[in-house]
Amino acid sequence: MATRIGSDEQMQAPAATMLDPSRLPYPFCPGCGHGHILDALDRALVRLGRPAHEVAIVTDIGCVGLSDQYFVTHAFHGLHGRAVTYATGIKLARPELTVVVLIGDGGCGIGGHHLISAARRNVGVTVLVFDNFNFGMTGGQHSVLTPSGSITATTPAGNLEAPMDVAATAAVNGASFVARTTAFDPGLDALIYEALSTDGFALLDIWELCTAYFVPNNRFSRKAMEAMLASSGMASGVLVHRQRPELARTLASASQGAPASRVAPAAGGRAGGIEPRFQSRLERRRSLTLAGAAGEKVRSAATVLARAAVLSGLYATQRDDYPVTVMTGHSISELVVSPEPIGYTGVPAPDILVVTAPEGAGVTASLPSRMGPGTRIYVEHSLAGRIGATRASVEPFYADRLGKRAAALAVLAAVAEREGLVSAEALRASVDMESRETVAQEMRQALEERQTVWEPAAPSRKVT
């Protein structure tokens, strides 16, 4: 079916063409298929009946990249291989638009990953592959769609590589509509129209002749191409046509969810933030390193203390360190609390070191020797032997009776109170700011048990 202009589906003032007559004719070589495909695209767009400003044509690099300037629609001429990414951005920004991507076989190689992901996402753009089996603009080099054995500028002895089946790739990865044909197919207009009408990702692999390079190099012809299509083992005609949710509209409807809250106080302090309401007698900057292990809730415990400091009118910073494999190994938090705004956030040698686990002791092994007089190390009693020579005073604590998830917070709270950093009330108020109630419950329990850490556990209850 080769539908010409004047379809009965036109809702608005019918345009006879979407081409710009003042810019024609096309600049392509005699016999090149590009002009055929652009004419077919024009007829399909006319039949679609949308006004020019509701259509965007995105072009890749290569001879096909010259195409957009012959249309009166919106146009975007971008980088080689990336046309699908711009088209995706345009479609996500304005889901109501008809977005068409024109790329060559070269673009299918350099941008192949984008094609796969566009098919996966089923973003509602139509990709027309101007597939003439080689790079035309740069001198007839082979592409990822060049047939095996073909002679090109870079395969003088014949292409040793197998071509990618771009249509099958799009189809198997979830595209809503995929077809393969040639530029000579009288049904090309109808296929393009089908693709444009598809609510989802559509791709047409359109085989055509590059009369500058591929035809002379391979004694190629329309007849040879049609024979190749029949014998290649690649499917032709419509490969898939199916219903799947289209990404742009799905995202747009997801946007109707509940508004997110502010992460920072607005200017003027109308929302968010922490209102200081406790007193602190801290007179100078103090630093604390909490050295524990994954699973001990080290970072959450440090945040409770930092927030308690802010609740007490102090400034606080918190830096965390842990391995990329987050559920194993050390977990370290470095805190600075100060009555003054904090500049340098580093803690090369803390005023207070709290060691709750062997993993933390290992990573901070060099700290004790750097700590000076007047500093203190609080160490889980069984790890006391791992603290090397130091001028800091070393005090053991006993967390055996506490669960692994409670020990770090209980000890940190006990240390904070003993060191005069913040009050127990401030710590409780900080825990109250925890939004997950089950976590808050665990934290409250840990706070209540904080004073037990200074006493050795009864032998009968000791975990061995």
Partner 1 sequence: MRRAFITGAQAIVQGALDAGCDFFAGYPITPASPILAGMVRALPGRGGVAIQAEDEIASIGMCIGAAMAGRRAMTATSGPGISLYSENVGLAIMAEVPLVIVDVQRLGPATGGATTVAQGDLQFVRWGTSGGYPIVAFSPSDAAECYHLTMKAFAWAERLRAPVFLLADKEVVMTADTVDPDRLVPYPVEGRRLADPGKPYRPYAVEAPEDVPAFAPIGGPIVTRVNTSTHDEAGYLTKQPAKVDRLNRHLSAKIEAAAREIEDVVLDLLPGATTLIVSYGVSARSARDAVLELRRAGRAVSLAVLRSVWPLPARALSRALEGVRRVVVAELNLGQLRLEVERLAAGGREVSGVHRVDGELITPEEIARAVA
Pick the closest to residue 117 from 234, 207, 203 (CA basis): 203
Among 1, 324, 389, 458, binds partner 1 (CB under 8 A): 324
**Binding flags for partner 1, 3-42, as an x/- string (CB under 8 A):** ----------------------------------------
Contact 180, 235 (CB under 8 A): yes
Residues β-bridged to residue 271: none
Instruction: Kindly list the distances between the CA atom of residue 317 and the CA atoms of 78, 294, 302, 321, in Å, as whole numbers in the listed order.
Output: 44, 21, 10, 14
Torsion over CA: 439, 445, 451, 454 (sign) = negative
Among 76, 138, 164, 404, binds partner 1 (CB under 8 A): 76
Among 1, 344, 389, 461, binds partner 1 (CB under 8 A): 344
Site size for partner 1 (CB under 8 A): 75
| Residue closer to partner 1 (CB basis): 88 or 217 | 88
| Residue closer to partner 1 (CB basis): 180 or 299 | 299
| Residue closer to partner 1 (CB basis): 157 or 263 | 263
Mark the segment that binds partner 1 (CB under 8 A) among 33-41, 69-77, 232-240, 397-405: 69-77
Instruction: Kindly list the distances between the CA atom of residue 291 and the CA atoms of 128, 131, 222, 354, 412, in Å, as whole numbers in the listed order.
Output: 58, 60, 73, 6, 11
Burial class (CB in 10 A: 0-12, 13-18, 19+), 35: buried
| Residue closer to partner 1 (CB basis): 10 or 250 | 250
CB hemisphere CA count around 150 (13 angstroms) = 30
| Residue closer to partner 1 (CB basis): 314 or 427 | 314
Site for partner 1 contains 255 (CB under 8 A): yes
Nearest distance from residue 158's CB to partner 1, in Å? 32
Report the C-alpha gap between 308 and 232 in whole angstroms. Answer: 71
| Residue closer to partner 1 (CB basis): 25 or 257 | 257
Mark the segment that binds partner 1 (CB under 8 A) among 29-37, 70-78, 146-154, 401-409: 70-78
Pick the closest to residue 202 from 91, 143, 124, 313 (CA basis): 124
**Binding flags for partner 1, 348-387, as an x/- string (CB under 8 A):** x---------------------------------------
Report the C-alpha gap between 115 and 347 in whole angstroms. Answer: 48
Residues β-bridged to residue 286: 337
Among 38, 48, 62, 86, binds partner 1 (CB under 8 A): 86
Instruction: Return phi, psi of residue 395, to 5°.
Output: -125, 130
Report the C-alpha gap between 461 and 440 in whole angstroms. Answer: 26
Mark the segment that binds partner 1 (CB under 8 A) among 54-62, 353-361, 381-389, 398-406: 54-62
Length of the chain in terms of residues written:
464
Go through 83-98 and write b for each residue having 16 or more CB atoms within 10 A of its CB, e for each that does not: bbbbbbebbbeebebb
Report the C-alpha gap between 446 and 448 in whole angstroms. Answer: 5
Of 388-447, which residues contact partner 1 (CB under 8 A)? Answer: none
Read off the tokens for 352.
Answer: 């207070």
Q: Which SS3 state, helix, strand or coil, does residue 32 take?
A: coil
Of 109-138, which residues contact partner 1 (CB under 8 A)? Answer: 113-114, 116-117
Of 262-321, which residues contact partner 1 (CB under 8 A)? Answer: 262-269, 272-276, 303, 306-307, 310, 314-321
Contact 202, 178 (CB under 8 A): yes
Site for partner 1 contains 184 (CB under 8 A): no
Among 41, 48, 56, 239, binds partner 1 (CB under 8 A): 56
Of 87-106, which residues contact partner 1 (CB under 8 A)? Answer: 87-94, 96-97
| Residue closer to partner 1 (CB basis): 54 or 448 | 54
Q: Which SS3 state, helix, strand or coil, does residue 176 take?
A: coil
Nearest distance from residue 219's CB to partner 1, in Å? 33
Site for partner 1 contains 259 (CB under 8 A): yes
Among 168, 228, 252, 394, binds partner 1 (CB under 8 A): 252
Mark the segment that binds partner 1 (CB under 8 A) among 184-192, 217-225, 337-345, 420-428: 337-345
Residues β-bridged to residue 204: 128, 179
Nearest distance from residue 276's CB to partner 1, in Å? 7
Read off the tokens for 35.
Answer: 């002009």
| Residue closer to partner 1 (CB basis): 157 or 264 | 264
